[in-house]
Amino acid sequence: MLITRLSPRRGFVFAALALVALAPDAFGAITCSVKTVELPDAFAGQQLLVSDNGTDITRDVAYTTSDPKVARVDAKGYVTATGDGSAAIQIVRGADKLLVPVTVKGFGTTARGVDFRTEVMPLLSKHGCNAGGCHGKQSGQNGFKLSLFGFDTLFDYEAIAKEGRGRRLFPANPDASLFLLKAAGKVPHGGGNRLPATSADYSVVRRWVAAGAPASAPDTPKVTKLRVSPIDAVLKPGQLQQLAVVAEYSDGTSRDVTRQAEFFSNLDVVAAVDADAGVKAGKESGEAAIMARHMGFVSVFKVIRPHGPPLASIPDFKPNNTIDELAVAKWKKLGLKPSPTCDDTTFIRRITVDVCGRLPTAAEVKAFTEDKAADKRAKLIDKLLDSPDYAAYFAMKWGAILRNSKLAGADEAAVAFHHWLKDKIARNRPYDEFVRGVVAAAGEWQDSPAINWLWQNRDDQLHQVTADVAQVFLGTRLQCAKCHHHPY
């Protein structure tokens, strides 16, 4: 009766808030990732993640809003602001219902303008405008050049708003701006229709142009971290998992950037991802990593498509160390049973090849197979690691990684560097000492054999040395910087 005495708008909101506050358990098993949604300005959004006992159902439920003039929600659970005020999002699946209050501020007369760094720059990355194959390459594209993946905000602003005497923007008639005409495919554009005129992204850029295309203030908060939710999941073939991405800023605030981020899968046959952060498991089993990227920061969601039903235990395998324990945990998630333990002759062949790079001798095989000790395999591993063959084999491996050759001027220099590597490995020296000995080597090869690594590239203006240090010791590829305007 109370609801009938109120206006439809206020009655719905009042009922929603009252039900959420007084009877949260009355709506059934479905749950939402957030209890309330607070949108601080016209450009804020919120991706809802709805689940049923741990299973994502975000795209399998129905959404309605109590007041479309305050907030809208699409079929994928993404909430956007339409005006100041309060409303509620109703989530329904069958007999189960859930209500999420929404508060919008800063939309009307106090609304802030579109910020180039926060709103426009992410869209250039999302739609591939500043990718290496387009305007982000070293020479740009058709006279228009942007920084790769948007790492240089000032450079990009100057290129868009001021380059060519400002020919790309027309604030008096934003839709006639070359920048928008090209992006929307209304005039010939090699990149095609990247920003449809009916899209929300087009509207954001248009508002920025109409406002006079202002630059970002120097104190505009910058992204400091990116978080993706959830961080992992085990999915069945064809099962969907919606992701939500939140950016943390230098002023301590955070913001949902799910619709402004880019998404990539490293293994589409295991799990593919769409532009709105929906992950769908494929038919192939395995593990895939879904990367979310926004303003130079990345976060990763890991998805497992099991080979079979998850395993509670693997009784036939006994872990011997921490690595084994991690492997067992992953096998359980994958529903994968390890192969049976190999016989003694297979073991000695495999371990000798792996550790020493050679086949075991007949005498070694005979002695090992006749040994009845329970720990003979562990002892064999220790024996091989203590042998000179192990140091020589892995010195050869490291020599290949570090490009050991006679380019320094003499065969003797390459041989000396090999012996230096072999000595470090044989004496089991710490890795930091090993790396420092290579990178910081100085002098002549007779006294400091590791200098051969630097000398062999002395005519390359340090390009190869820089690339080798980054990739071998830091795990970062810098070779792209030879051709691209690179963020590193």
User: How many C-beta neighbours within 10 Å does residue 85 have?
Assistant: 18
Residues 174 and 189 in one domain: yes
| Residue of 243 and 25 predicted with greater confidence | 243
Give me the mean pLDDT over the 247-254 stretch: 93
Q: Tell me the residue type at 97.
A: K
Give the model's pLDDT for residue 305: 92
Number of domains the chain contains: 6
Res. 387: pLDDT tops 90: yes
Q: Is position 478 within any domain?
A: no
Q: Is position 482 within any domain?
A: no
Q: Is position 466 within any domain?
A: no
Q: How confident is the model at residue 4 (pLDDT cuts 50, 70, 90)?
A: very low
| Residue of 486 and 131 predicted with greater confidence | 131
Residues 79 and 138 in one domain: no
Residues 277 and 262 in one domain: yes
For the stretch 95-106, pLDDT in tens is 899 999 999 988
Res. 203: pLDDT tops 50: yes
Mean of the per-residue pLDDT values for the chain? 87
| Residue of 459 and 77 predicted with greater confidence | 77
Res. 214: pLDDT tops 80: yes
Give the model's pLDDT for residue 25: 39
Residue 283: strand, helix, or coil = coil
User: pTM (2 decimals)?
Assistant: 0.73
Give me the mean pLDDT over the 422-441 stretch: 94
Residues 413 and 358 in one domain: no
Q: Is position 349 within any domain?
A: yes
Q: Is position 470 within any domain?
A: no
Give the model's pLDDT for residue 271: 96
Query: How far apart, in Å, do the first and last CA atoms of the chain sit?
Result: 64
Residues 100 and 18 in one domain: yes
Give me the mean pLDDT over the 312-331 stretch: 91
Q: How confident is the model at residue 136 (pLDDT cuts 50, 70, 90)?
A: confident
Per-residue burial over 249-284, b if 16 or more Cβ lie within 10 Å, else e, is beeeeebbbbbbbbbebebeebbbbeebbbbbbbee
Burial class (CB in 10 A: 0-12, 13-18, 19+), 193: middle
* Helical residues (DSSP H) of 287-387, grouped into ranges: 322-334, 344-356, 362-370, 376-386
Q: How confident is the model at residue 119 (pLDDT cuts 50, 70, 90)?
A: confident
Cα separation, 201 vs 80, in Å, equals 13
Give the model's pLDDT for residue 16: 42
Res. 358: pLDDT tops 80: yes
For the stretch 44-89, pLDDT in tens is 999 999 999 889 999 999 999 999 999 999 999 999 999 999 999 9
In the chain, % of residues over pLDDT 90: 54
Give me the mean pLDDT over the 114-120 stretch: 88
Res. 17: pLDDT tops 80: no
Res. 9: pLDDT tops 50: no
Domain with residue 66: its CATH number is: 2.60.40.1080
Cα separation, 126 vs 275, in Å, equals 9
Domain interval for residue 125: 116-210
Residues 131 and 199 in one domain: yes
For the stretch 270-307, pLDDT in tens is 999 999 999 999 999 999 999 999 988 899 999 999 98
In the chain, % of residues over pLDDT 70: 91
